[in-house]
Amino acid sequence: MIDKDVEEELNKQINEEMYSAYLYLSMSAYFENIGLKGFANWMYVQYQEEMGHAMKFYRYVQERGGKVRLYAIKEPPHEWKSPLDAFEQTLKHEKHITECINNLVDLAEKKKDRATFNLLQWYIDEQVEEEANDEEIIAQLKLIGDNGQGLLMLDRELGQRTYTPINQG
């Protein structure tokens, strides 16, 4: 049986992951609207990953005998100044998610909840990857600057990303 404090915080994290998905879906629409279909694809894959992250927490709470509680998802932004601005906001958001995961790890350690602690190790590794991906694209966008050809080349590259479902249980 899952500790009630852990259950409550995991339910809040499900909401954080759902918001992440919503944010990336909004970014996908933004990129599609400005004609960058590769960027849109990259963000759509990110949306799918975030839904997978939420469902991994969802399944875990259920399997531990807890009750999943779904909260309202706040409205994400729908406009950004530029592709660089969008990715800088993405990195800022991922750093927030990393902080949330770290807080969950602290709680699991405090409660001596080794099962939850073990689950969270996967998320820690995932967050390192998430931030590194964003930092790499930000660096490329900064190098490209106002070069339209460079932006279109990066758009083509980002369009190659595909979704690989995660193990949710």
Q: Is residue 20 part of a domain?
A: yes
User: What pLDDT is recorded for position 77?
Assistant: 98
DSSP classification of residue 81: S
Tell me how far apart the alpha carbons of residues 36 and 155 are, in angstroms, rounded to a whole number. 6
User: What pLDDT is recorded for position 167?
Assistant: 80
Supply the angle between the helices 114-144 and 148-158 in degrees, to the nearest 10.
Answer: 150
Q: Is residue 163 part of a domain?
A: no
Domain that holds residue 125: 4-158
Q: Which residues neighbour 25 within 8 Å (Cβ) at sequence distance 6 or greater?
A: 43, 44, 47, 76
pTM score, whole prediction = 0.95
User: What pLDDT is recorded for position 166?
Assistant: 85
Q: Is residue 68 part of a domain?
A: yes
* Residue 144 backbone dihedrals phi, psi, to 5 degrees: -65, -40
Tens of pLDDT, residue by residue, the chain (169 residues): 899 999 999 999 999 999 999 999 999 999 999 999 999 999 999 999 999 999 999 999 999 999 999 999 999 999 999 999 999 999 999 999 999 999 999 999 999 999 999 999 999 999 999 999 999 999 999 999 999 999 999 999 999 999 999 886 6
Q: Is residue 164 part of a domain?
A: no
The count of domains in the chain is 1
Q: Is residue 146 part of a domain?
A: yes
> Locate tokens 């879906």: which residue?
25
CATH number at residue 10: 1.20.1260.10
Q: Is residue 165 part of a domain?
A: no
Provide the strand spans (E) within the chain: none
Q: Confirm if 43 and 83 have CB atoms less than 8 A apart.
A: no
